[in-house]
Amino acid sequence: MTRDELLQTNVKIVSSVVKQAVQYSPESILIVVSNPLDAMVYTAYKVSGFPKNRVIGMAGILDTARYKTLIITIIIKYCHVVFF
């Protein structure tokens, strides 16, 4: 499979998933981890119609560490809302 074929295949997949995410969770934040990352984030952004601050690309070890820290911070801050 060429890179262009991979791109077209992933665009179809991401578009389908994003449409469903928007349908069932219209207030969500999309975090895209599919390659090629920039193209998939742009696809998710365009298909979702969400503002740019609700569509995020996630790649790399450093980004993963930052993301884990962010998730833990959010969980700690809001766990009382979810569990109580």
64: left (phi over 0), alpha (psi -120 to 50) or beta: alpha
Mean pLDDT for all residues in the chain:
88
What the block records as the tokens of 32 is 């895209």
What the block records as the tokens of 18 is 């994003």
> Is residue 83 scored above 60 in pLDDT?
no
Highest mean pLDDT of the ranges 45-49, 66-70, 71-75: 45-49
> Is residue 41 scored above 60 in pLDDT?
yes
Residue 67 near residue 79, CB atoms below 8 Å = no
> Is residue 84 scored above 60 in pLDDT?
no
Q: What is the pLDDT of residue 22?
A: 97
Q: Of 3 and 48, which is predicted with more confidence?
A: 48
3-59 folds as Rossmann fold (3.40.50)
Mean pLDDT of 59-74: 79
Mean pLDDT of 45-64: 88
Q: Of 13 and 34, which is predicted with more confidence?
A: 13
